[in-house]
Structure 1
Amino acid sequence: MVYFLYIIIVIAFLDTFSQLPIIAPFAQSLGATSLLIGLIVGMYSLANMGGNIIAGQWIDKFGRKKILVIGLFFVSICLIGYAFVTTPQQLLLVRFLHGIGGGLLVPAAFAFLGDHSRTSTRGKTMAFSGACVGISAIIGPAFGAIITRTLGIDWVFYIISALFLVTAVFVMIILNENFSTKQTEKTKFDTEATLKLLRLPPLINAYIGAFSLMLTLGILAYMLPLKIAASGQSIAFSGILMSSFGIVAILFFVLPTNQIFDQVKREKMVIVGMLFVTGSLVILSLFELIFILFIAMFFYGIGFACIFPSVTALVIDHSNKHERGRAFGLFYAFFSLGVVVGSFIVGALNTPPNQGLFIGAFIMLCLALIVQWRIKVVGTSL
């Protein structure tokens, strides 16, 4: 069961990562302005926020499996829509619908995984889930860039759409629902229940960590492909470069280093990861040499590896089974908000790639200082 959930997580993130190196150039090819490109890149995540919050309520009410299947089918349909857009406005609409669908399936998958995790090895379990995201981060950008170059951008969407459709069928056949009517009767849907999850100090740190991680990824998705294109390199190289951080993260997750997630406080791991990401973005903004760019992505991979399992484990640690869907819905809403804010800021400012990357580094450093201040002053215990 757990291993099948890991496979689902790989697939759930594949559509997002496969578009990282192609969506900004695709929007540019349709005639989108700098600001509109930022909106198009960020629209998926903006809509994703709504999907996450809705999914959080539905997962705890109707069960994990139903929402997961609905999300997979809906995303499969939306991916086909990309192949038929001819204007930036149409692309913006498809991104909106795609984001809503994606917002349903990811919280459901992680709520399932959280239900099957053990307290003593929860950090390691979420490290493996991070490895799944890392696998998507490796396969996705390289796949999107290479298929675009060889077969055309439409085939990226056709292939992944078919993959989501097949996965939905397998989920219906293989995955057993761990939800019961008794649990539904215990679950209350009110504003106070949601505010409770927004007020818990450990969860606030998890939300900040998720927001900061995806803010930088949103900036990378926008700025790095444009930086590589301006240097005369092919879009395929952009995909390979963005995939490299996933390799580093996976090694960190699957090697004995994954034991650190159950030995070191989660918030400390988040701060260390944020500092690595800050350094990565500074290097990306200052240098053009390919070798140095790969070093920067190596640092980004370490930062990703430190942050992702730690913040997801925090969510599981501080939510019970009857509110876990809602907790992950809020968590991934902050994930999505990060991408929206990151891509929108650099798009609205119309900054060159190097300046945009440096802005991302500055924001990440500020957020790391906020988390550190919260640990010392506010505290993180219940």
Structure 2
Amino acid sequence: MGIHPIRFLRIMGLLDGLSLITLLFISMPLKYFADLPQFVTINGSIHGGIFILYLLAIAIVQLRIQWNIGWSFLAVLVAFIPFGNFVFDSKLKRMQPLLHIKPFPKQWLVYAIIFFSFFDLFVQLPIMSTYALSVGASTFIAGIVVGLYSFMNTFGNIFSGIYTDKIGAFRILVFGLFVSVASLLCYQLVDNTTVLLIVRCVHGFSSGFITPAAFTLLANMRAANEQGSGSAFTGSFVGIAAIVGPASSGILASKISVANVFSLVALYGLVLLIGLLLFLRKTQLPKREKKKTSETLHWNSNLLKAYGGAFFLMFSQGVLAYLLPIYVQDLGYGSRVAGTLLSVFGIVAVLIFILPTNKIFDYFNAQYTLLIGVLLMGIAQIGIGLTSEMTMLYGILALYGIGFAFLFPSINALLIEATTQEIRGKAYGYFYAFFSIGVVAGSSVLGALNLVGTPGFVFTGGILFTFCLVIIISLIKSNSSLLKVSRKENLHQS
């Protein structure tokens, strides 16, 4: 019998706590009071390596013990507090006999694949335009290189949706991961603009296969009464990718080549591909009765709201990515401030996704939470354009994060309500095609209209408010129809 995951976590936690204490109370004083900086270098490297193993131990516990994810976040938090690991260890020691190892949760592998898909996207944001220029592209071609990924993603999304329903999500995920990994490694071969454009086409198209298939697989694994909170929890991986991706690629690109950054992402994808083949090959979903006639996708009200929400969510994101760095620079701050502002929105959204607040989406009508999300994002967009005070901007970005957190699970829940398993793959294919189109439209529309600064944010807020009005009108019509049906039934009974 192997070591218990909690015991492994306790060992790594104590080592991490010990290395932190020696760093803070021995190595740091030696650096500043005895002019011996080499101790910080050595101790810091050891502490960094132990911390990575500690994070791995937390991940193993989360997968095998499957405790409340709040404990995992607490385990990470105490690692930054001197003596925190030792206090937490006493709690873990009492908990260990009560926590039993559970079967490997296959849905976590799908979560990891979703994280990979969005991490792959967000890693590109800070480095792709400069990388294109470095291989000889003009500024115009560099813009095409950046947008080409999302453009080709759209076609991949649609094909993925169609064939997920025909041959199953597993085969689509294998194909998408395999070709994505290969295309990421092909950046090593790029030495001119033509080769870069070809690689971008293949990369964008193949990556487009992953997300619809993964979301379809998760939706079909979940119980009907958990779709809202499940979609919210899934959204946390998108939010984490949005926080971690740009920061990690920016740091790595300053130390290694851009091609090597993509190769590291490819390595992560390869690990997932192996895991997919090992653990999900024989996954059985609930059996469905075979129908003689194939079901078609009906573009009903809920589905249209889901697609509209997907488009305007990413339209707003495209605007934010395009305008916020320029706006912050005009206010006299650097790119680091823009990055922290975007991190605030991501952190707030992720907290709502993973905390018990995600149960909101199981109890409330997804159309109402959709309306709240779009409304808050619209208010935040206008608020950004009308604010120059940095403290206020952080608060407004937090409000934007709340809106994002309400919007993302709502559109997923609406799509799931509007579809059956037979057509859900195709529905998700179109869904993420609208995502991809929205990203391109957000920045390109404002660029074409030459809207920067306050006018750009106000324009975007107005667009979101217009979509709010459409949702309200639809809700009024829907409630009116239900009221008429209810009156007719009452008259018939009387």
Partner residue in 1 for 2:302: 202
Find the partner of 1:370 among 470, 474, 479: 470
What aligned pairs does 1:151-300 form with structure 2 within 5 A after superposition? 151-178=256-283, 186=291, 193-194=296-297, 196=298, 199-228=299-328, 233-300=333-400
> How many Å apart are 1:211 and its aligned residue?
0.8
Find the partner of 1:357 among 457, 468, 473: 457
2:114 equivalent to 1:14: no
Q: Which amino acid aligns with 2:421?
A: K
> How many Å apart are 1:224 and its aligned residue?
2.6
Larger deviation, residues 15-24 vs 167-176: 15-24
Q: Deviations over 1:21-66 (max 9, x none)?
A: 4445555775314xx6654443322221211111111111111111
Find the partner of 1:136 among 241, 255, 272: 241
2:167 equivalent to 1:67: no
Partner residue in 2 for 1:49: 154
Which whole-Å CA distance do the structure 2 matches of 1:179 and 1:128 have between them? 22
Contact 1:85 1:91 in 2 (8 A): yes
Which whole-Å CA distance do the structure 1 matches of 2:194 and 2:464 have between them? 31
Contact 1:149 1:236 in 2 (8 A): no
> How many Å apart are 1:92 and its aligned residue?
4.9
Which whole-Å CA distance do the structure 1 matches of 2:338 and 2:292 have between them? 46
Larger deviation, residues 104-113 vs 345-354: 345-354
The 3 A distance-change label for structure 1 pair 177 and 236 is: farther
> How many Å apart are 1:164 and its aligned residue?
1.3
Contact 2:109 2:275 in 1 (8 A): no
Secondary structure in 2 matching 1:253: helix
Which whole-Å CA distance do the structure 2 matches of 1:50 and 1:222 have between them? 24
> How many Å apart are 1:272 and its aligned residue?
0.7
Contact 1:134 1:247 in 2 (8 A): yes
Partner residue in 2 for 1:127: 232
The 3 A distance-change label for structure 1 pair 188 and 173 is: farther
Q: Which amino acid aligns with 1:164?
A: G
Which whole-Å CA distance do the structure 2 matches of 1:238 and 1:188 have between them? 53
Q: Deviations over 1:60-106 (max 9, x none)?
A: 11111111111112222323445665666765544333221121000
Contact 2:157 2:429 in 1 (8 A): yes
> How many Å apart are 1:120 and its aligned residue?
1.5
The 3 A distance-change label for structure 1 pair 153 and 354 is: farther
Which whole-Å CA distance do the structure 1 matches of 2:132 and 2:312 have between them? 25
The unaligned stretches of length 5 or more in structure 1 are none
Which whole-Å CA distance do the structure 2 matches of 1:88 and 1:283 have between them? 40
Q: Which amino acid aligns with 2:153?
A: N
> How many Å apart are 1:183 and its aligned residue?
6.6
Which whole-Å CA distance do the structure 2 matches of 1:94 and 1:146 have between them? 23
The alignment yields a C-alpha RMSD, in angstroms, of 2.9
Contact 1:207 1:334 in 2 (8 A): yes
2:128 equivalent to 1:58: no
Which whole-Å CA distance do the structure 2 matches of 1:132 and 1:140 have between them? 11
What fraction of aligned residue pairs are identical, expressed as a percent? 37
The 3 A distance-change label for structure 1 pair 284 and 112 is: same
Q: Which amino acid aligns with 1:71?
A: G
What is the aligned length?
Answer: 373
> How many Å apart are 1:162 and its aligned residue?
1.7
Q: Deviations over 1:227-280 (max 9, x none)?
A: 445566554544333232221111111222111101111011111111111122
Partner residue in 2 for 1:31: 138
Partner residue in 2 for 1:104: 209
Partner residue in 1 for 2:447: 347
TM-score (norm 2): 0.68
Contact 1:145 1:236 in 2 (8 A): no
Secondary structure in 1 matching 2:364: coil
Which whole-Å CA distance do the structure 1 matches of 2:154 and 2:240 have between them? 23
Q: Which amino acid aligns with 1:284?
A: I
The unaligned stretches of length 5 or more in structure 2 are 1-105, 483-494
> Higher relative contact order at CA 8 Å, sep ≥6: structure 1 or structure 2?
1
The 3 A distance-change label for structure 1 pair 185 and 160 is: same
Which whole-Å CA distance do the structure 2 matches of 1:25 and 1:355 have between them? 27
